[in-house]
């Protein structure tokens, strides 16, 4: 007990020393970092300011296929820790003093309000990390809506564990927005709430979501023992969080048990792109002799045409738009045949650095074999992240086939349509489109007659799938 008391006293002294040092150098209104929180339960600074605490979770994991590399990096890995750099925003979304939502009409005035911090966090770098163990246990702090959520650690400059605060005012309610991969040197404004990916090459797995506080209706929480709120509580801010935390404490022994409400904003990140996974296989509609013959053929330069290589993300909506007419070259992936796929940022088409040949997989006895690895399903050899809600992509494929004298020759098959298959039955979707958050197996069937057949099969981070066969002359 004495040791615990001594630790508490030491923590308080550290807080006071940090505050004293800061007050000699910083003005009251500066948005500053004055100290590091002692633990994840330390919501308040010595001068009473409330520390911003955030949680994050990825809703994109759910498939049986394991992943060891981008574009499906986990936001947090228990072995290696944080793996993905995030960008975080805290934006005024409601004027609580007038009960007025911040919209396109009044956003410029609200976000330009420097005195009341209309934009509280503007593309702050962050990463998902583990919560500090509470009292030596793995129990996460109270106030989380989702107990699977990990901590979003904010950066100050390039240093982790930066401390940011809610303003000491009640004017604005805030919502939090997050995305990845992080784009340095960019900020948003009311006129342009957008982040630009200037060199989108198909390897980036763009994720996004927001955390908006639910309105707490009158008579829903305790303000003090046996006294409930007579007015609504709206939006994340210091007052909202303090009242919910106090309600939680009172609620533990209240005679009339009420619901506990979360007060740590939790961003549930989701994919904003669809994914194509490529396999090169012998076409089935040919003789065994021809299936064997295609083993001498290779594929390169698998290209999705006229896609766009500049992506713009609307931070408020998560909508992605692509400009220019740039094409995407397939990125490299390897499959161990046991449900584990390794994705890399490398171009698999041999256009960068060391040429890489894409071999036609052997098919025999119901097994596909590539580089000594066998599987009942075609092995994944490459991938591309692509824009969603498209009915069709056009693909160019270059095959290397021996001529009559056995000398390899390039044959380019252009404008191969890759059509979206029927959506999964349990997806709630009706149109044949390539949807964000789903992956599609694109199987490129090679004929000995130098014909190509493309098949797009739906798979997803959720269950489901239909297929569409597209024969190409």
Q: Where are the beta strands (DSSP E) in 4-149?
A: 55-58, 66-67, 76-77, 81-82, 85-95, 100-101, 119-129
- Alpha-carbon span 181 to 234, nearest angstrom: 30
The answer to whether residue 113 scores a pLDDT higher than 60 is yes
Task: Enumerate residues 6+ apart whose C-beta is below 8 A from 314.
Answer: 193, 194, 320, 321
Rounded to a whole number of angstroms, the distance between the first and last alpha carbons of the chain is 81
Q: Could you report the per-residue pLDDT of 292-321, keeping only the tens digit for each? A: 888 778 888 899 999 999 999 999 999 999
Cis peptide before 152 (omega within 30 of 0): no
pLDDT at 308: 97
Rounded to two decimals, the pTM is: 0.85
Task: List % helix, strand, coil for the chain (3-state, nearest 5).
Answer: 10, 40, 50
For the cut 50, the answer to whether the pLDDT of residue 3 exceeds it is no
Parallel/antiparallel/unpaired status of strands 222-224 and 207-211? unpaired
Name the nearest CA neighbour of 455 among 473, 464, 439, 442: 442
Is 90 exceeded by the pLDDT of residue 29?
Answer: no
Task: Supply φ then ψ for residue 341, to 5 degrees.
Answer: -120, 135
- Spell out where 241-381 has E strands: 266-271, 274-282, 298-304, 310-314, 320-323, 328-329, 331-335, 340-347, 358-359, 362-364, 367-370, 373-375
Tell me: the pLDDT tens digits for 397-421?
Answer: 988 877 777 777 788 889 999 999 9
Give me the residue label for tokens 């297929």: 467
Confidence of residue 130 (pLDDT cuts 50, 70, 90): confident
Paired sense of beta strands 438-446 and 274-282, if any: parallel
Residues 373/335, Cβ–Cβ less than 8 Å: yes
Which two three-digit tokens encode residue 364?
């025999």
Alpha helices in 26-81 (DSSP H): none
**Which of 19-33, 166-180, 444-458 has the highest mean predicted lDDT (pLDDT)?**
166-180
Categorize the per-residue pLDDT at 164 as very low, low, confident or very high, splitting at 50, 70 and 90.
very high
């Amino acid at each position: 007990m004495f040791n615990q008391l001594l630790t508490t006293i030491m923590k308080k002294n550290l807080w006071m020393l940090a505050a004293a040092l800061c007050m000699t150098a910083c003005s009251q209104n500066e948005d500053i970092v004055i100290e590091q929180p002692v633990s994840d339960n330390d919501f308040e600074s010595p001068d009473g300011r409330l520390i911003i605490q955030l949680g994050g979770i990825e809703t994109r994991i759910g498939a049986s296929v394991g992943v060891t590399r981008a574009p499906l990096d986990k936001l947090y890995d228990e072995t290696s820790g944080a793996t993905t750099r995030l960008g975080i925003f805290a934006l005024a979304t409601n004027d609580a003093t007038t009960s007025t939502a911040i919209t396109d009409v009044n956003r410029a005035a609200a976000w330009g309000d420097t005195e009341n911090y209309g934009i509280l966090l503007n593309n702050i770098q962050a990463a998902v990390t583990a919560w500090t163990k509470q009292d030596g246990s793995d129990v996460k702090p109270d106030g989380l809506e989702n107990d699977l959520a990990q901590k979003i650690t904010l950066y100050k400059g390039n240093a982790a564990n930066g401390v940011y605060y809610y303003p000491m005012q009640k004017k604005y309610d805030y919502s939090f927005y997050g995305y990845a991969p992080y784009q340095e040197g960019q900020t948003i404004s009311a006129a342009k709430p957008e982040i630009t990916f200037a060199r989108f090459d198909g390897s980036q797995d763009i994720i996004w979501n927001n955390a908006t506080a639910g309105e707490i209706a009158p008579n829903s929480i305790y303000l003090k023992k046996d006294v409930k709120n007579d007015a609504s509580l709206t939006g994340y801010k210091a007052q909202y969080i303090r009242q919910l935390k106090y309600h939680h404490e009172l609620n533990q022994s209240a005679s009339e048990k009420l619901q506990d409400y979360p007060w740590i904003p939790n961003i549930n990140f989701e994919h904003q792109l669809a994914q194509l996974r490529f396999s090169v296989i012998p076409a089935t509609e040919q003789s065994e002799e021809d299936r064997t013959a295609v083993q001498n053929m290779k594929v390169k330069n698998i290209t999705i045409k006229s896609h766009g290589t500049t992506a713009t993300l609307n931070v408020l909506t998560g909508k992605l738009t692509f400009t220019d007419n740039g094409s995407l070259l397939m990125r490299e992936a390897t499959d161990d045949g046991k449900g584990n796929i390794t994705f890399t940022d490398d171009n698999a088409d041999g256009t960068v650095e060391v040429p890489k040949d894409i071999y036609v997989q052997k098919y025999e006895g119901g097994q596909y074999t590539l580089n000594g690895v066998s599987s009942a399903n075609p092995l994944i050899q490459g991938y591309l992240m692509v824009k969603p809600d498209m009915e069709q992509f056009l693909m160019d494929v270059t095959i290397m086939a021996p001529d009559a004298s056995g000398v390899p020759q390039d044959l380019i098959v252009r404008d191969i349509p890759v059509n979206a298959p029927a959506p999964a039955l349990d997806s709630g979707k009706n149109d044949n489109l390539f949807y964000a958050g789903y992956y599609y197996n694109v199987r490129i069937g090679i004929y000995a007659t130098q014909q190509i057949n493309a098949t797009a099969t739906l798979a997803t981070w959720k269950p489901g799938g239909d297929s569409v066969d597209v024969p190409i002359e």
